Amino acid sequence: MDYVTLGQTGLKVSKLCLGTMTYGDPGWRSWVLPEDAGRPFIKRALEYGINFFDTADMYSIGASEEILGRAVRDFARRDDVVVATKVFHPMSADPNDRGLSRKHIMSSIDGSLRRLGTDYVDLYQIHRWDPETPIEETLLALHDVVRSHATSLEGSGETGHREAAARAVERPPVVGTFEAAPLAPACGGEGCVAMRAAIVERRGSAPVVP
């Protein structure tokens, strides 16, 4: 397996990343594999040198994170694995249990860590853009997640955030509070928007995937 630097960070990841949306609860989506059928894929990935695994809190409403966490515990050393997860989608009927508000981000990172059985993730991503929450609120919350050591890097897991990035950079009094954060853009090149607050846009069709 070949390893590359994740964008402009110092993090080394395998060129292949195993996404775990398809492992979880078949009751959530008919094409999802249950844990006993999904674990062998994670084990084989680790055996072939893949160290980069991507999940999200909304995949099978948390079951995907639980399965990945148990597999990492059983088949690898946590520090040898790069785990990425995401936040945005509804996790319950509660109106605050969704989006990119500070309340939801803080609650969601705690829930993800609990389900993954770890005290940190390597990359915490916003899954979608939230037009109902001020970008300043989202950035401040993500910055505090980093400061709490619950994640090392922040990112964006979907397209469509170029406008949001531009809006944030246009507000130096707010974004300036992040300039001392020990973060770097997690991707580079055309199609990748890096903000001074270390939020980035990831587009699979553009040259931003290692």
Q: Which helix (H) or strand (E) holds 126?
A: strand 121-126
Of the residues 3, 48, 59, 124, only one is catalytic, namely 59
The secondary structure of residue 33, as a DSSP letter, is B
Asked whether the beta carbons of 14 and 50 are under 8 A apart, the reply is: yes
Rounded Cα distance between 127 and 84, Å, is 11
Task: Give the model's pLDDT for residue 130.
Answer: 87
Beta bridge partners, 3, equal 14
The number of beta carbons lying within 10 Å of the beta carbon of residue 108 is 27
Shortest CA distance to 188 belongs to which of 159, 209, 173? Answer: 209
Residue 47 in tokens:
């055996």
What letter represents residue 5's amino acid? Answer: T
Task: Give the model's pLDDT for residue 87.
Answer: 94
pTM more than 0.85:
no
Rounded to 5°, the CA angle 125-130-132 comes to 150
Residue 144 in tokens:
């505090």
The number of beta carbons lying within 10 Å of the beta carbon of residue 22 is 16
Rounded Cα distance between 76 and 56, Å, is 20
Q: Which CATH entry fits the domain spanning 3-159: 3.30.70.20, 3.30.70.270, 3.40.47.10, 3.20.20.100?
A: 3.20.20.100
Shortest CA distance to 135 belongs to which of 99, 84, 93? Answer: 99
CA 209 to chain centroid, in Å, comes to 14
The single residue listed with the structure tokens 């109106």 is: 95
Q: Catalytic site residue 59?
A: yes
Beta bridge partners, 87, equal 126
Tens of each residue's pLDDT in the chain, 210 residues: 999 998 888 999 999 999 999 999 999 999 999 999 999 999 999 999 999 999 999 999 999 999 999 999 999 999 999 999 999 998 999 999 899 999 999 999 999 999 999 999 999 999 888 889 998 899 899 999 999 999 999 888 764 455 555 555 554 433 333 333 333 344 433 333 333 333 333 434 333 333
Task: Give the model's pLDDT for residue 207.
Answer: 35
Task: Give the model's pLDDT for residue 167.
Answer: 56
Task: Give the model's pLDDT for residue 193.
Answer: 33
Asked whether the CA dihedral 186, 210, 166, 128 is positive or negative, the reply is: negative
Q: Which conformational region is residue 15 in: left (phi greater than 0), alpha (psi within -120 to 50 degrees), or beta?
A: alpha
3-state SS assignment for residue 151 = strand
Task: Give the model's pLDDT for residue 162.
Answer: 53
Q: What are the residue ranges spanned by the domains of the chain?
A: 3-159
